[in-house]
Structure 1
Amino acid sequence: MKRSNISFVSEGTLLKGWLYEPANTSSTTPAVVMAHGFTSVKEQYLDKYAEVFCSEGFHVLVYDHANFGESEGTPRQEMDPVLQRRGYRDAITFLQSLPGIDPQRIGIWGTSLSGGHVIEVAAIDRRVKCVVAQVPSISGHESAKRRLRSDLVPAMLARYDNDRKARFAGAQPAIIAAVSDDPGVACAMVGVDSYEYFMNTRSFAPNWKNEVTLRSTELFRENEPGHFISRISPTPFLMIVGDNDLLTATDICLTAYEKALEPKKLVMIKGGHFTPYVEHFKVTSEAAASWFNQHLNT
């Protein structure tokens, strides 16, 4: 296989990533679009997934979301779910323009926050012929209720309002930590497992930064991809869920899966939110590759 650096424009912003090309192809091949979750960058295991998919004969496009990693865009470290979903759709358009790729056989893969993105994109963009959502974010509202005690919500909402006023007046966006091992430090993704996962990737993902704009967490609270899940059909849909996921809660994912229509498949793995990338990488990567093979190679 061959990996090349690529870039394409989405909503006026240059997004950068990699294109994996399978070896020994004599005709056009299907392709898969991939991007990472909340604050994450492509070096945090997406290359490993892409290698598995490419070895099965797929072109694979992996890129960083706008404002993160190698991609351009400001404010830096700001997660905008609407822009990120549009990035997926522009990535599809970019792939369809490339030689050697069958524009009618394109699948999308997402994980965590982007697992929610691909649910919504697949529901509204019929160019998508197959979708895999791994430990997906289903409801920002429901997740936020579990991550923050109710008595702390008024203070958080006040912080959002104050940040909006400051930005309106020309100030820089307020920044918080993405993860922390100190319970007293406000961060976007609470829990020891979150902190350990990201800290363990720093040696091979230097572009990841332990910061995110405060507004990103407000935009996350507004994000509701689960509302679209019944509209994915007839596009084939695979959901991969951890049985003890506290970030994208297991019960929320399973309830959403029940609302999806056929054709669909559920793969359950042991462990929490970050186990798909390491402990269960073989299971999760092969399940996704099998799903793409089944529905893009026919």
Structure 2
Amino acid sequence: MSNSKTSTRLDISFDSGDDTCRAWLYLPTGVTAPPVVILGHGLGGTREMRLDAFAERFARAGIAAVAFTYRHFGDSTGQPRQLLSINRQLADWDAAIAHVKGRRDVDGTRIAVWGSSFGGGHSITVASRRPELTAAVAQCPFTDGLASALALGPVASLKVLPSVAKDYVAMLRGGPPSMIPLAGPPGSLALMNAPDALPGYQALLPKDSTFRNEVAARVAPTITTYRPGRHAHKIAFPILFCISDTDSVTPPEQTERYAKTAPRGEIKHYDAGHFEFYRGEPFEQLVTDQTEFLTRHLASAQVRS
């Protein structure tokens, strides 16, 4: 546990399926039953990769924050390691919400979800399924797997197929997964090989990181068919879309089209690239806008008596 002048960070965990998700809970000092925002990362990311920076700032504004790591990644449990299952990750979000609702040190009636990149897509999906939530934030969100695959290019997309086939064989035989890099240099075999992908991931890693730049290849086809943006129109409460106008991973034009279908959607544009959102001046702009949004909607929600 670590303390600051304005918040306390607790190491917590919650069950998801037969596994355990590890998380941090940031509690604002001197606030009784604060509202809470749940933060989840992008493709293969763990909470150490700058989710703490956002969570700390939200706590400083009087909003409790839970930053968690998905099963199969980081210090959360789950075998095999580095397995990215969209359905399991969505179940992790549900488990995080259930955990928050059961806590006595936060207001479980005022909950927001916050996701970045692939997690931004999850936040849209979760928000569309959970009408009891108060607000949502989708940061440089992955909204359409087909659009992202087309942006990557057909040649790059075809490159992953042998790895996917090998991984399916391994799965059928009960062997260890066949891995593929999450991020790689341009032209390389990786889920993301835009020029800013690999340096973007590396810039988010703390010195003692155990991050593994690989994932079970079987996820590739499921990413292409995952289109969370199609559910934006079902979200009845406020949701903030933070869009990178130079996004190399999630085409901004497609994201904006989906965002405009959300009945209470708010859209903000930024010049920074997909991987620049977490640090420096772009981070300051984003966290300021997001804090204002969350404060405005969580504070105005019905406070538990």
TM-score (norm 1): 0.93
Match of 2:23 among 4, 9, 17: 17
Q: Distance in 2 between matches of 1:162 and 1:152?
A: 17
Give 1:39 shift: 0.8
Q: Distance in 2 between matches of 1:244 and 1:52?
A: 25
Gaps of 5+ in 1: none
Post-superposition CA distance 1:130-161 (Å, at most 9, x none): 00000000011221122132x56556445433
Greater CA drift, 96-105 or 7-16: 96-105
Match of 2:9 among 3, 17, 21: 3
RMSD: 1.6
Is the counterpart of residue 188 in structure 1 residue 191 in structure 2?
yes
1:171 corresponds to: 175
> Secondary structure of the residue that 1:57 maps to in structure 2?
coil
Structure-2 change in CA distance of 1:178 and 1:154 (3 Å): closer
Q: Aligned pair count?
A: 293
Match of 1:256 among 243, 255, 258: 258
Post-superposition CA distance 1:3-45 (Å, at most 9, x none): 01001001221000111111012x3110010011001111111
Is the counterpart of residue 271 in structure 1 residue 277 in structure 2?
no
1:288 corresponds to: 290
Is the counterpart of residue 119 in structure 1 residue 124 in structure 2?
yes
> Secondary structure of the residue that 1:283 maps to in structure 2?
helix
Post-superposition CA distance 1:223-274 (Å, at most 9, x none): 11112110012x111000011101011111111112221x221111112101
1:221 corresponds to: 224
Is the counterpart of residue 160 in structure 1 residue 164 in structure 2?
yes
> Secondary structure of the residue that 1:297 maps to in structure 2?
helix
> Secondary structure of the residue that 2:277 maps to in structure 1?
helix
2:303 corresponds to: none
Give 1:113 shift: 0.2
CA contact 2:163–2:180 (8 Å) conserved in 1: no
CA contact 1:43–1:205 (8 Å) conserved in 2: no
CA contact 2:163–2:179 (8 Å) conserved in 1: no
Gaps of 5+ in 2: 1-6, 301-305
Give 1:218 shift: 2.3
Q: Distance in 2 between matches of 1:116 and 1:53?
A: 21
TM-score (norm 2): 0.91
2:115 corresponds to: 110
Structure-2 change in CA distance of 1:153 and 1:275 (3 Å): closer
The aligned runs of 1:134-149 (5 Å cut-off) are 134-149=139-154
Is the counterpart of residue 37 in structure 1 residue 45 in structure 2?
no
> Secondary structure of the residue that 1:274 maps to in structure 2?
helix
CA contact 2:245–2:269 (8 Å) conserved in 1: yes
Q: Distance in 1 between matches of 2:208 and 2:201?
A: 9
